[in-house]
Amino acid sequence: MSRGEGEGLDDELRATLADHASREAVTIATVDASGHPRFALLSTAELVVPDTRSILIATWPSSTTSANLVREGRASLGVVSTERYCTVTADVVSSETVRLADGTVVRATRLEVRAVRSDVVPYATLSAGVRFELADAPRTDELWREIRRMLAQLTPGARPTMP
């Protein structure tokens, strides 16, 4: 059963998205140039939630997800959070290509939350979502820490552009 949760992220959902150590995956849905939905996975370690209305994400600049975000200016995120599946609908506020200290280039995108919906059913409990098992955990964890540091410093207001 789906129900509206309002226009912002509640404390439980923010805590789920802030749990970088869990390596939980978040589904991001965008629309491609032909109008078809496209789905990708982000780690909670590749995003920052500075407040109840903003989500900052990092994607690879050459990815279909990055191109779709810039072109369409919107996305939905799917998140498993405490026995419920949440869909977060958001608009792109800004997007820019950023070079990290180690030379890695990512696309940093600020999303403004428009609506949150939760799906729960009385006959079953949602107990887990998708998790990443990392081949090189120390290296990937360090990259994700650097991405979160960069996202935390991202300033609002830049117009979406592609490199």
Alpha helices by DSSP H, the chain: 11-18, 64-72, 137-153
Residue 21, number of CB atoms within 10 A of its CB: 9
Rounded Cα distance, 146 and 149, in Å = 5
pLDDT tens column, 96-130 = 999 999 999 999 999 999 999 999 888 888 877 88
Which pLDDT belongs to residue 160?
Answer: 41
The CB-side HSE value for 122 (13 A sphere, CA atoms) comes to 0
Tell whether the model's pLDDT for residue 153 goes beyond 90.
Answer: no
Q: Which CATH class is domain 2-121+131-153?
A: mainly beta
More confident: 66 or 20: 66
Which pLDDT belongs to residue 131?
Answer: 87
Which pLDDT belongs to residue 161?
Answer: 39
Residue count of the chain, please give it.
Answer: 163
pTM of the shown model: 0.87
pLDDT tens column, 9-31 = 999 999 999 888 888 899 999 99
Which pLDDT belongs to residue 82?
Answer: 78
Tell whether the model's pLDDT for residue 157 goes beyond 60.
Answer: no
Q: How confident is the model at residue 162 (pLDDT cuts 50, 70, 90)?
A: very low
Handedness of CA 16, 110, 3, 27 (dihedral sign): negative
pLDDT tens column, 75-99 = 999 999 878 899 999 999 999 999 9
